[in-house]
């Protein structure tokens, strides 16, 4: 599974992703490819895709839907995204299972990140959308300060502390990029890394 890391505090959100993915062809053979795991879906909202490469197509389709509906607040987008992506994921799983037996490589999950104007003391939100109970149903959980997948508990501990202390966002970004760099050096991440921030100014892709 390709590495993803998210962290937030009152100043904003940092998103990081390894864009390498594995897809199964019709013969069941694994194919390595590059994908865009970080998808802006509104001015102050982004989606991070984990798991199967097909999740990117679902995320881009969601982005078009959100923009057509004119949604901007992440709390509204969360409810709409959970319903929309659940339908898309169920359709994807049914199609896949017609061709191949169910495989962990088929699993997809998402992290929704964005800003809300309804809570001045906590203006940013992170949500994890995943198959918590059973395939292909998606459920959602709110993320407090940080989350990584695969889990990196040492890094999460440091980022959680920075979140509680409301460290400047550039320091959080530095810690995340350092963490991804260390994983890359150990073979835990590829060279296809991407980063983004969400602040009061909106979603911004970062090239560290």
Find the mean pLDDT for residues 173-193.
Answer: 95
Structural domain including 78 reads 4-206
pLDDT greater than 80 at residue 191 = yes
103 band by pLDDT with thresholds 50, 70 and 90: low
pLDDT greater than 70 at residue 135 = no
Judge contact between 62 and 122, C-beta under 8 A.
Answer: no
Find the mean pLDDT for residues 83-87.
Answer: 92
Find the mean pLDDT for residues 180-205.
Answer: 95
pLDDT of residue 80: 97
* CATH number, domain with residue 163: 3.60.20.10
What is the Cβ-side half-sphere exposure of residue 87, based on CA atoms within 13 angstroms?
7
Name the β-bridge partners of 15. Answer: 6, 196
Cα separation, 100 vs 85, whole angstroms: 22
22-59, pLDDT tens digit by residue? 766 677 677 778 889 999 999 999 999 998 788 899 99
Q: How many domains does the chain have?
A: 1
**DSSP character for 43?**
T
Rg (CA), the chain: 16
Task: Tell which residue, 184, 55, 176, 44, has the closest CA to residue 123.
Answer: 44
pLDDT greater than 80 at residue 96 = no
Whether pTM exceeds 0.75: yes
Find the mean pLDDT for residues 104-129.
Answer: 91
143 band by pLDDT with thresholds 50, 70 and 90: very high
Mean of pLDDT over the chain: 90
């Amino acid at each position: 599974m390709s590495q993803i890391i998210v962290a937030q505090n009152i100043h904003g959100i940092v998103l990081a992703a390894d864009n390498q993915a594995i897809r199964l062809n019709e013969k069941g053979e694994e194919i390595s490819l590059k994908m865009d795991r970080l998808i802006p879906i509104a001015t102050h909202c982004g989606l991070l895709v984990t798991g199967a490469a097909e999740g990117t197509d679902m995320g881009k389709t969601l982005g078009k839907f959100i923009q057509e509906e004119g949604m901007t607040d992440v709390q509204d987008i969360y409810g709409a995204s959970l319903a929309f992506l659940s339908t898309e994921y169920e359709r994807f799983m049914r199609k896949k299972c017609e061709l191949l037996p169910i495989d962990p490589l088929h699993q997809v999950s998402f992290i929704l990140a964005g800003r809300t104007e309804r809570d001045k003391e906590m203006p940013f939100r992170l949500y994890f959308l995943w198959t918590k109970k059973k395939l292909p149903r998606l459920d959602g959980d709110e993320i407090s300060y940080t989350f990584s997948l695969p889990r990196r508990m040492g890094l999460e501990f440091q980022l959680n502390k920075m979140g509680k202390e409301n460290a400047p966002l550039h320091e959080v970004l530095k810690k995340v990029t350092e963490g991804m760099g260390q994983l890359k050096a150990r073979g835990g991440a590829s060279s296809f890394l991407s980063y983004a921030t969400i602040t009061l100014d909106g979603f911004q892709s970062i090239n560290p």
